[in-house]
Amino acid sequence: MYQVLFATELFASFVPWLALNRRGLAILVHPESGNALADHTDHAIWMGEVLDIKTEVLENL
C-alpha cells in the first residue's frame, strides 16, 4: 500500500492520470476534511477494485 498527498489544484490533472496509469492497482482518492470516516466512505473515489475498509478504525480519528 502506498500513499500520495497532492495539492487540490492538481486534482483535475492528477486524478485522470492515475486512472489511465494505475496498471491494475486499486486506488482510493479521498479528501482530508478532518472527518476520516466520511472522507474514506462518503467522499471517496475508487479506481479499480473496491477494497474493504476497516471503518471502525476511522470512527475515532
Concatenate the DSSP letters of all residues of 12-32 into one string: HHHHHHHHHH-TT--EEE---
Task: Tell me what pLDDT residue 60 has.
Answer: 85
The DSSP element (H or E) to which 11 belongs, if any, is: helix 11-21
C-alpha radius of gyration, the chain, whole number: 12
Residue 61 pLDDT level (bands cut at 50, 70, 90): confident
Task: Tell me what pLDDT residue 39 has.
Answer: 97
What are the chain's domains? Answer: 8-58 (3.30.70.1240)
Backbone phi and psi for residue 27, each to the nearest 5 degrees, phi listed first: -125, 135
Q: Is the pLDDT of residue 1 over 90?
A: no
pLDDT, tens only, 7-55: 999 999 999 999 999 999 999 999 999 999 999 999 999 999 999 999 9
